[in-house]
């Protein structure tokens, strides 16, 4: 079996669902259930004998050690993180605690557990750390995409905390020999994405008749990766990645934010036209840019393709259509995740 941390969040939940569906191997899911952790994401596997949920914090080293001793996983996949840039600007403390202190305590517990294993089990054990392209900083329009050797230049408390966690993972391999793998992914999108991020926020606000807030001029460029493709990349790296290596995971879909918003509006015009016959893009509202907003991210995922044979299955066109349709088909999920605290946050963050 494997231990997944942060498996009730957006990417983690998709990974757990796909893992059980495609691999069939039992999973223990450790999640703190902060605002973005949602057990409803995993409702379809409640009662599945192969799945165990444990509420807990990766920063609680004692709890992690207990779980490792009880379940004896052959691998740990670490999704647990605070991951929203805007929230890190307003309140960085949680990001330092979870992403740095939490990763350290998780690594310490795993190091002790790994050292207790029989030689054959130590050889096959893996610790896979899921990180982000934001650790590399920002690119100009003419710069080559981030590859695995790009210098770390984080520009927000969030990306700095993830960079620190990446360095800790590397250090535990170099110092203690812990068999680690790290993946740095581009912007994910897809089902179960908490509606504070760009794509789900645009869909949710559009359907509610609210403004579609776009930072600055909307020309910030990101590479977009469908979450199911990200999950398949993680499975492949876990299966065959070189111990100690880093693999960048990207969708080969560089687009400015405003183009993403226009695409969503056009899909909604087709799939769920406004009752008044007007276009959703009329709801677009430009708001003041956030501090330190990186201009461009781009991932060079050729190493993952050349060494492990992975490429994304979805184009942006196919993936975004599936995503918008999922939100249209799941209004109850949207209603239930939009708590009062969420509404207060959106109101503060996008105030004109």
Reduced to 3 states (helix: H, G, I; strand: E, B; else coil), residue 7 is coil
133 is catalytic: yes
Active site (annotated) includes residue 229: no
Q: Which of 82, 86, 133, 166 is catalytic?
A: 133
H or E, element range at 181: strand 180-185
C-alpha to C-alpha distance for 79 and 8, rounded to whole angstroms: 9
Task: Write the CA distances from 165 to 61, 126, 160, 168, 332, integer angstroms.
Answer: 16, 17, 9, 5, 35
**Distance between CA atoms of 6 and 238, rounded to whole angstroms?**
17
DSSP codes, 119-159:
HHHHHH-EEEEEEEGGGG----TTSPPB-TTPPP---SHHH
CB contact set of 155 (below 8 Å; sequence gap of 6+): 134, 137, 138, 292, 294
> Could you tell me the end-to-end alpha-carbon distance of the chain, in angstroms, rounded to an integer?
49
User: 113, 158, 189, 350: which is the annotated catalytic residue?
Assistant: 158
The residue assigned the tokens 């492949």 is: 236
Gap between the Cα atoms of 255 and 166, Å rounded: 26
Catalytic site includes residue 152: no
List 134, 196, 254, 314, catalytic entry: 134
Query: For residue 137, is it left (φ>0), alpha (ψ between -120 and 50) or beta?
Result: left
Pick from 306, 234, 221: nearest CA to 260? 221
Catalytically active residues are 133-134, 158
């Amino acid at each position: 079996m494997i231990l997944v941390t942060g498996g009730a969040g957006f990417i983690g939940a998709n990974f757990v669902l796909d893992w059980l569906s495609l691999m069939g191997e039992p999973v223990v899911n450790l999640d703190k259930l902060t605002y973005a952790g949602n057990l409803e994401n995993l409702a379809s596997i409640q009662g599945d004998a192969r799945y165990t949920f444990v509420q807990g914090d990766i920063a609680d080293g004692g709890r992690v050690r207990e779980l490792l001793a009880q379940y004896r996983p052959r691998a740990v996949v670490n999704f647990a993180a605070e991951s929203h840039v805007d929230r890190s600007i307003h309140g960085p403390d949680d990001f330092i605690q979870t992403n740095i202190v939490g990763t350290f305590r998780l690594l310490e517990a795993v190091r002790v557990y790994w050292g207790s294993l029989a030689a054959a089990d130590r050889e096959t054990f893996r610790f896979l750390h899921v990180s982000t392209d934001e650790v590399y900083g920002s690119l100009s329009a003419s710069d080559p995409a981030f590859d695995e050797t790009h210098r770390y230049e984080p520009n927000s408390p969030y990306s700095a905390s993830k960079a620190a966690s990446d360095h800790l993972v590397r250090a535990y391999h170099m110092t203690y020999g812990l068999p680690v793998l790290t993946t740095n992914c581009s912007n994910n999108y897809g089902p179960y994405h908490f509606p504070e991020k760009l794509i789900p926020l645009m869909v949710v606000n559009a359907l509610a008749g609210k403004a579609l807030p776009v930072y600055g001029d909307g020309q910030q460029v990101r590479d977009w990766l469908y979450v199911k493709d990200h999950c398949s990349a993680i499975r492949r790296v876990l299966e065959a990645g070189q111990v100690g290596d880093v693999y960048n995971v990207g969708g080969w879909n560089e687009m400015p934010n405003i183009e993403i918003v226009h695409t969503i509006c056009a899909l909604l015009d087709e799939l769920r036209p406004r009752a008044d016959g007007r276009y959703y893009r009329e709801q677009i509202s430009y708001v003041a840019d956030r501090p330190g907003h990186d201009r461009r991210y781009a991932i060079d995922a050729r190493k993952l393709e050349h060494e492990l044979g992975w490429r994304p299955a979805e184009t942006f066109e196919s993936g975004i259509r599936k995503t918008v349709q999922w939100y249209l088909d799941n209004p109850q999920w949207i209603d239930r995740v939009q708590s009062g605290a969420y509404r207060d946050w959106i109101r503060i963050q996008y105030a004109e």
